[in-house]
Amino acid sequence: MSKAYKIPLISLRFRIFISMVILIIATSLLLISISIIQYKNVAKKYNQRRIEGMEMYVKKHIDYMLSTTDYPLTDDNIKIIFKDKIHEISDIQNAEIQIYSLNGNLIKSSKESFSVEKYTPTVSKFILRLVNSSIDKRFLEVKTINGIKYRSSYSLIKNKKFKPIAILKLPNIPDDGYYEKELNSFLIRLVQVYSLMIAIAFGLAYILSSFITKPIYDFAEKLRETSLNQKNEKIPFSAKIKEINMLLIAYNRMTEELERNAIVLAQNERDLAWREMAKQVAHEIKNPLTPMRLTIQSFQRKFNPEEPNIRQKLNDFSESLIQQIDTMSSVASAFSDFASMPAQQNELLNVVEVVELTLDIFHEDYIVFECSEKEIISKIDRTQLIRIITNLVKNAIQAIPCDQETKMILVTIKKENNQVVIVIKDNGTGINPEHIDNIFEPKFTTKNSGMGLGLGIIKNIIENYSGTITFETKYGRGTIFTVTLPIINS
């Protein structure tokens, strides 16, 4: 598959410069072409007039001789009439002269050696027809021999009664090359002048292109500085170009509109922040309510005043409820103070004990807690640690279908390299591969209820402690969430 060709960006100044350069070169070539054509036309007319003048003088001599002769004007008599005189005329005009009969046969020539040539030259019937059919009864033939242009003139010779009696040919008269020499000399001078003019024009084109595009460049710099988060200054109408001023008017109107939109946007952002805070508060308050309700119902159903350890169970039950109530109270207090979620109130506590106590509010008998150590002491916020465990365990419970026969949630804690590692493993439905990249995004949820804020919130809490939260999942077989928090003793 061929790669798509990407057209490079070209600045407006460069485009204007190139356009002016092309226009200058095109104009120069056009003028040079016109000059060459004009010179060639002048040279052609000059050579035509030169031959016409030569032909006119020769015919005057011929007419004079024909008018003064006593011989009848026949082909044989013409040979006698011009026996010696044709050479005199040829010498005077410095041109070869040939006289042909009306049938195209040679009668007399000023060339002495024609008699020894292999064949006697004749005039073709085509040329005879051209001579007879033309208005002035003449024809000019042009041909090039060895790079030199020659012209041959054919015209009728008439008697006193204007009756054609012969054809005069002035053969192979070379162009004198005067105008060609003048043309070459002119072209040399023209190229020199145009080279200087083009060099000057290039400089002027660059200066003009820079002058034209400078207001646009300044305008672009102003646009680059324009931002929705700051007050933008208007640009005064300083450009002397109408179109640029139109852009400046549009820009100033845009800055006014930006200021109005910025005020509206700020208000919308505040409203959105309120809505997001309300959602988070509702989510954080709702999270512990369900396990609290279930715990109370379970305690109410199983309550036996005569049980020997009823007081200890009552104390554990009360302490568990108090922890969840404290969590909701801190969230409500934060909301009332227009702050974010509760700030960290770090204290030295036994992570194992807090996690175990948090799990007591869940009545599901398939939740198993394992820890090889009695205590792992760390300085951490009790409320935020409870929130992390509550969210992850609740998500694990919801990930297991109600009709699944074997249910299992395993919560383990261990100490590794001065870190506490909390693992929550379930055998639920797992995470769909399509949702793996979005699992920690706010507002993302695959449940029919809920706002999708839980995992995003606890991820922020964990990262605030410089910890990590990761997960491994197999779709249809379950998920393992691993939370790693540093152990801080002071």
Mean of pLDDT values over 472-487: 91
- Greater model confidence, 101 or 446: 101
Confidence band (pLDDT; 50, 70, 90) for 490? low
Q: Of 185, 181, 204, which Cα lies nearest the Cα of 193?
A: 185
Domain range 282-486, its CATH number among 3.50.50.60, 3.30.565.10, 3.40.50.2000, 3.40.50.2300: 3.30.565.10
Q: In the structure encoding, which two tokens stand for residue 463, read together? A: 């990262």
Task: Look at residue 420 in the predicted model and tell me its pLDDT.
Answer: 93
Average pLDDT on 193-211 reads: 77
Report pLDDT for 101: 83
d(C-alpha 122, C-alpha 8), whole Å: 69
The confidence score (pLDDT) of residue 468 equals 92
pLDDT (mean) for 307-314: 78
In the structure, what pLDDT confidence band is assigned to residue 6 with cuts at 50, 70 and 90?
low
Q: Check: CATH 3.30.450.20 for 12-183?
A: yes
| Top-confidence residue, 77 or 120 | 77
Tell me the pLDDT tens digit for each residue of 17-66: 777 778 878 887 887 788 778 777 777 777 777 777 787 888 888 777 77
Average pLDDT of the residues in 129-151: 79
User: What pLDDT shows up at residue 337?
Assistant: 45
Segment 143-161 shows an average pLDDT of 78
Rounded to whole angstroms, the Cα distance separating 455 from 481 reads: 11
Q: Where are the domains of the chain?
A: 12-183, 282-486
428 or 56: which leads in pLDDT? 428
Section 247-270 average pLDDT: 75
Average pLDDT, the chain: 77
- Residue 289: is its pLDDT beyond 60? yes
Residue 443 clears pLDDT 70, i.e. is over it: no
Q: Are 424 and 393 in contact (CB under 8 A)?
A: yes
The answer, yes or no, to whether residue 448 has pLDDT greater than 60, is: no
More confident site: 242 or 338:
242
Model confidence at 422, pLDDT cuts 50, 70, 90, reads: very high
Q: What is the pLDDT of residue 369?
A: 92
